[in-house]
């Protein structure tokens, strides 16, 4: 394929899934005639019909509940939650039914449901449109939680998610929807592998989703001062590829975890704790964290002060290297 934006890569991934399996459905608010708020599903209803690309009522609990019923009948529904902050009405269905059904049935029932959620900030949106709630889902056993950081991963990880017999929360960093990249002919990794996207020797930056690009910018800036920073894209938040993370941190001796979600009880806390346990004798400094503040997501006019940026991450790098 030629270079695609992330939104177009996801569109092509959905199209491929619909073409491959007649039991695959796309459903959500405004996904059909409108093509989605971000036009990610543009053209799909026209090509596959209203029975395969379904405009639903504004009722997230009903959307996910219906998807669970469809999965029980052999379908592979792909659900779109219009914005991150709109998922909470469906939270009951996700954590008490979708995540539990396989275990409740002693493994006899499969739940091949993919829930796409545009998440995180950076687009100047209003309240409930810029939240990062990945820790809620990663904390829930029975869910797979993944997030791409670039168009190539978005295309292939979506296809791998839909092919999974387990429920997948597919988090799409909306600020990266317009980033462009070429799409490879085949996936380079399985769905739950982390990836070293920039090698280094002095410190490891661990990031996912929207923050991978920021960390790559940090590594480029640090190189001007003679510091070689390794950047690892987690890609999967549950399960986490701790083997790749551990290998990197043992090699560099220092680590900083970066995410948009609040630092308090966030993904970074689990990553820092696990890496401290596994890499204790290799660490030259504490594992540091950079993230959002323990406060509701702010209005768009001040979101730049809330989101981790190059300066805040570089400050953490300096503090880690000072030990």
Catalytic residue among 108, 129, 192, 282: 129
Cβ atoms of 193 and 241 closer than 8 Å: yes
Q: Is 215 exposed, middle or buried (0-12, 13-18, 19+ CB in 10 A)?
A: buried
C-alpha span between 190 and 15 (Å, rounded)? 20
- Residue among 134, 149, 90, 144 at smallest CA distance from 262: 134
User: Within 139-204, where are the H helices?
Assistant: 151-163
C-alpha span between 208 and 259 (Å, rounded)? 7
Strand blocks (E) in 159-287: 168-173, 180-181, 195-198, 203-207, 229-233, 236-238, 255-262
C-alpha span between 82 and 142 (Å, rounded)? 23
Q: Is 74 exposed, middle or buried (0-12, 13-18, 19+ CB in 10 A)?
A: exposed
- In the annotation, is 129 catalytic? yes
C-alpha span between 235 and 213 (Å, rounded)? 13
Q: Which residues are catalytic?
A: 129
């Amino acid at each position: 394929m030629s270079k695609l934006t992330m939104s177009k890569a996801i569109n092509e991934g959905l199209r491929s899934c619909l073409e491959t399996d007649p039991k695959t459905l796309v459903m959500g608010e405004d996904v059909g005639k409108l093509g989605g708020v971000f036009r990610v599903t543009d053209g799909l209803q026209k090509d596959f019909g209203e029975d395969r690309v379904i405009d639903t009522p504004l009722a997230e609990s009903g959307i996910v509940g219906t998807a669970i019923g469809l999965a029980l009948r052999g379908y592979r529904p792909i659900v779109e939650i219009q914005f991150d902050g709109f998922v909470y009405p469906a939270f009951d269905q996700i954590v008490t039914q979708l995540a539990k059904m396989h275990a409740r049935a002693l493994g006899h029932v499969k739940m091949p449901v993919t829930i796409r959620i545009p998440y995180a900030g950076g687009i100047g949106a209003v309240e409930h449109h810029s939240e990062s709630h990945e820790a809620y889902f990663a904390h829930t056993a029975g869910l797979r939680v993944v997030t791409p950081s670039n168009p190539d991963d978005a295309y292939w990880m979506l296809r791998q998610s839909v092919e999974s017999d387990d429920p997948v929360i597919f988090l799409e960093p909306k600020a990266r929807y317009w980033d462009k990249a070429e799409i490879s002919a085949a996936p380079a990794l399985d769905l739950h592998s982390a990836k070293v996207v920039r090698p280094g020797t002095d410190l490891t930056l661990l990031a996912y989703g929207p923050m991978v690009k920021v960390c790559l910018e940090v590594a480029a800036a640090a190189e001007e001062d003679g510091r070689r920073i390794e950047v690892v894209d987690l890609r999967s938040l549950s399960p986490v590829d701790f083997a790749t993370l551990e290998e990197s941190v043992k090699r560099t001796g220092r680590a900083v975890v970066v995410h948009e979600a609040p630092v308090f009880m966030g993904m970074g806390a689990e990553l820092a704790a696990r890496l401290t346990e596994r890499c204790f004798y290799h660490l030259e400094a504490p594992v540091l964290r950079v993230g959002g503040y323990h406060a509701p997501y702010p209005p768009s006019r001040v979101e730049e002060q809330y989101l981790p940026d190059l300066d805040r991450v570089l400050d953490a790098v300096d503090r880690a290297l000072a030990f």
